[in-house]
Structure 1
Amino acid sequence: MIKLFRLAGVRRCGKATILRLLVFACLLGYLQSEPVTACRYTVHEVGFVDLRIEQYHLFGYICDETNGDIVSAFKQISYAGLVNSNIKFEIINTDQQKDHPAMKLLDLQQAKSLPAAVLVSPDGQSLPVTVTESDRPFEETLRSAFEDILSSPKREEILKQVIETYGVVLLIEGPDDQENKKAKEAASDVIELISSQMDMLPKPITHPPVLVVMDLKSVKREKILLWSLGLDSEEVSEPHAAVIYGRARWIGPLFKGEEITEDNLANVLFVIGADCECGLDHRWLQGTMLPARWTDKMQAKVAENLGFDPENPMIKMEMSMIIRRGSYSYPGVPLGYQEIAIEPNSTMEIQQSVRTPQENPVRNSIMTDKMIQKAQISNGENSPNEVEETSNSRSDPVEQILEPAPLAEVSSPLRNAIFVLVGLCALVLVFGIAILARAKRR
């Protein structure tokens, strides 16, 4: 009788425990269904992750009559020369692949003097690359061309700075000294503004932004860098400014002339220090990278500075979900953006457009209340500045063939339901074992 009484008590206890577990599961499900208002990563940190969503493409063109040694050199030198870079190489036989979309990038003059090469940016513009010279061996010319594509003095300086700092304001000087001086003052002022608010960021960044200046003497040596920004090195007639961060990513538009103001630059720079769960278009979180080589030494330094390795597969998966959750256009973004449609086994079409805002919602949505108050005090304002209308100077897109890089995306409700069920099963199992063990002892 006593054993039956004790067993009944255990059963009553078990029912009560199960009831508590059900209540707990409901509460957990409610909490999981609430939107997450904070993210463990910032835009600055996400910028160091390479999800290979958008890469540069280098197409090498040959024909049936091309010497086999040249074809072999194309393959071997491209493999060695483009390692650890964000450029994907592909050989196209113009006689056998006449319907290849990249054939549209090859002009008539190049087609008559194969082998040839064309570099294509994720933003759509293309650039013929010289791979043959009459007085140089093909292998030597090809290696030199690859090195020019991946490296230049200013890009090396930018890479060094973005690893250690908040980001870089790249100022490309024009022929007018007064315009250059005005642009440089605006860039210096915005760097001072960001520096004064570094302690208010969601997560600390050790060093503030820095200014990198490209004078007219450097323009010709930076042809690839300027091309990746949508500029022709022969047509720099006024100052230009771009913001670069993370893994040498260009974020926002290319400001030119009178558009280079403290407010316009600040609107982009404040995005970098923001929480990544702010609903921005994914191009804000994964801006176009400059063509460059990213070495293991650089990656190790970034991991040391951030306190985690951005190349860790689990971190990359988490960040890919973050980017996908913010992959719609942010309302009222005051800068140029691109809508990207990706269809399996088809070409990627990039359509570029520009929005003209009526107010400045980006900076308002990103800055904390303290940052807004401090910025208003420093600028002598009672309300946030309105952004001047800007236009994105990136060139018209061209049709290109890019293999889609799908990212794992799990819907938030389904993920929450799975977490709840797994947690509930684990709790029921633990308590069930405990109850059975207790009943057995009695």
Structure 2
Amino acid sequence: MILATCVAPLAAFACRFNVRDVGFVDLGSDPYRLYLYVGDSMPMAERESLQSISTATFYDSNVKPQLLPLAQARQSEARAFIPEDFTGGVPAAVLVSPDRKTTLSLPLAKSGVSVLQTAWEALEPIVDSPRRNAILEQVFDSYGVVMIVEGKDVAANTKVRSMVDAAVSETTSKLPGLEKEIQQPPVVAVISTEEMEAERAFLWSLGIREVKEAPRVAILYARGRMIGPVLDGERLNRESISAILDTIGLNCECGLDRKWMQGVMVPLKWDRDRKQQVAKQLGFNPESPEIRIEMSQILAKSGAGQGIHRSKIIGDTLDELLTGYRTKGLAPENPPKQNKKPFAESLEMNKPEASELMLSWVVVAGILILIAGGAIVLFARRRES
């Protein structure tokens, strides 16, 4: 027991989480804001009904609705997002991104129909849509999802699909070499041009707002987070896909900037059943305060990464990530091969860092002191008897 207690600090140096694990933990992410602007003359009963509809729609989600009469909106931080053509007649809804930099206007009412009849239909697609639901199921259960948003160019769509398939196959082949096992490999999902309108809010949250000629690729993982930027144009190549995809399986202390491990979540439901399923799959509860504290401490660390994947801190840009990937600083590794260098040279290259050496001496000294103390007490008792 004494030995276990003394050696415990050494084990603490090894991170038991990977980047995917970290992505399931919410460390204070800002929610999406949904502002429901109504006229000052709207009856109180209708206001309360609209507020109830929005509260029920976004319960257990990362979207926070707020109903605001026009006069109140003009006196709050929501004034910056009031639609230019809103005068207080027909209610309007505006979805604001977590960083408050982009907005999505949503039609809340139809001509000649009460807003209370159309509100459910207008608001629900923000967190509930067919392709998004299917894709998120795969995101939660697998290593990650490489999502192709198709363009009008059919030949380009086919080319990108082949490129993505090759990158996914390459990453899948590396799974046995990960420090922490991820059972389900990455998968590919496709959103066609015909599906884009129904997935408007989902795609908007990823920065995709319209159909383009060429396809784009976004990589999702963990708790519905996007890792890295949307890839298009010259940035859409196999190397970029592989570099971002491989990052998901890395040790959580691999030297990555926090941005890579806590990417923005898409609008989604995160109910009790989903929480329980994810906790069972991960082997830990991502909602636990203790886990959140541990994750926060990990992400707050600076300096080189720990474990097999030691590297310098990798910044928050794709170029910096690619630099680490090309030098194999972030690539998953298999167990090291036998060292064939001369013995003396091998000792020099594998010499432990000063901090690790000091900690080892402290632990050894502590064990020796405890053993000596125990021997003295035992000897004294025998003399007394």
Length-normalised TM-score, structure 1: 0.69
Q: Is the CA contact (8 Å cut-off) linking 2:314 and 2:321 kept in structure 1?
A: no
Q: What's 2:206 paired with?
A: 229
Q: Is the CA contact (8 Å cut-off) linking 1:334 and 1:362 kept in structure 2?
A: no
Q: Is the CA contact (8 Å cut-off) linking 2:240 and 2:322 kept in structure 1?
A: no
Mapped partners of 1:372, 1:194: distance in 2? 19
Fraction of identical pairs, as percent: 33
Identify which of 74, 99, 106 aligns with 2:50.
Answer: 74
Identify which of 320, 345, 365 aligns with 2:329.
Answer: 365
Q: What's 1:289 paired with?
A: 265
SS in 1 for 2:134: helix
Counterpart amino acid of 1:44? R
What is the number of equivalent residue pairs in this alignment?
340
Deviations 1:403-434 (A, max 9, x none): xxxxxxxxxxxxx9xxx9xx9xxx9xx98xx8
Relative to 1, partners in 2 of residues 1:65 and 1:165: Cα closer, same or farther, differing over 3 Å?
same
Mapped partners of 1:358, 1:121: distance in 2? 25
Mapped partners of 1:207, 1:65: distance in 2? 55
Q: Is the CA contact (8 Å cut-off) linking 2:243 and 2:322 kept in structure 1?
A: no
Relative to 1, partners in 2 of residues 1:129 and 1:239: Cα closer, same or farther, differing over 3 Å?
same
Mapped partners of 1:183, 1:91: distance in 2? 43
User: Higher mean Cα deviation, 76-85 or 205-214?
Assistant: 76-85
1:251 Cα shift? 0.8
1:175 Cα shift? 0.7
Q: Is the CA contact (8 Å cut-off) linking 1:62 and 1:91 kept in structure 2?
A: yes
Matches within 5 A, 1:90-109: 90-109=66-85
Q: Is the CA contact (8 Å cut-off) linking 1:278 and 1:366 kept in structure 2?
A: yes
SS in 2 for 1:198: helix
1:62 Cα shift? 2.9
Q: What's 1:349 paired with?
A: none
Matches within 5 A, 1:241-256: 241-256=217-232
Matches within 5 A, 1:154-165: 154-165=131-142
Deviations 1:15-56 (A, max 9, x none): xxxxxx9xx9xx979x96x99653111111111122332211
Relative to 1, partners in 2 of residues 1:312 and 1:359: Cα closer, same or farther, differing over 3 Å?
closer
Q: What's 2:128 paired with?
A: 151
Gaps of 5+ in 2: 305-311, 338-358
Matches within 5 A, 1:121-160: 121-123=97-99, 124-160=101-137
Length-normalised TM-score, structure 2: 0.78
Q: What's 1:260 paired with?
A: 236
1:333 Cα shift? 4.5
User: Higher mean Cα deviation, 325-334 or 268-277?
Assistant: 325-334
Q: Is the CA contact (8 Å cut-off) linking 1:332 and 1:360 kept in structure 2?
A: no
Gaps of 5+ in 1: 1-20, 336-355, 374-415
1:225 Cα shift? 1.5
Identify which of 198, 213, 216 aligns with 2:190.
Answer: 213
Relative to 1, partners in 2 of residues 1:301 and 1:332: Cα closer, same or farther, differing over 3 Å?
closer
Q: Is the CA contact (8 Å cut-off) linking 2:39 and 2:88 kept in structure 1?
A: no
Relative to 1, partners in 2 of residues 1:53 and 1:107: Cα closer, same or farther, differing over 3 Å?
same
Identify which of 262, 274, 285 aligns with 1:309.
Answer: 285
Q: Is the CA contact (8 Å cut-off) linking 1:118 and 1:129 kept in structure 2?
A: yes
1:192 Cα shift? 0.3
Q: What's 2:89 paired with?
A: 113
1:365 Cα shift? 2.8
Relative to 1, partners in 2 of residues 1:372 and 1:129: Cα closer, same or farther, differing over 3 Å?
farther
Mapped partners of 2:313, 2:71: distance in 1? 45
Relative to 1, partners in 2 of residues 1:357 and 1:205: Cα closer, same or farther, differing over 3 Å?
closer
Q: Is the CA contact (8 Å cut-off) linking 1:39 and 1:275 kept in structure 2?
A: yes
Counterpart amino acid of 1:106? I
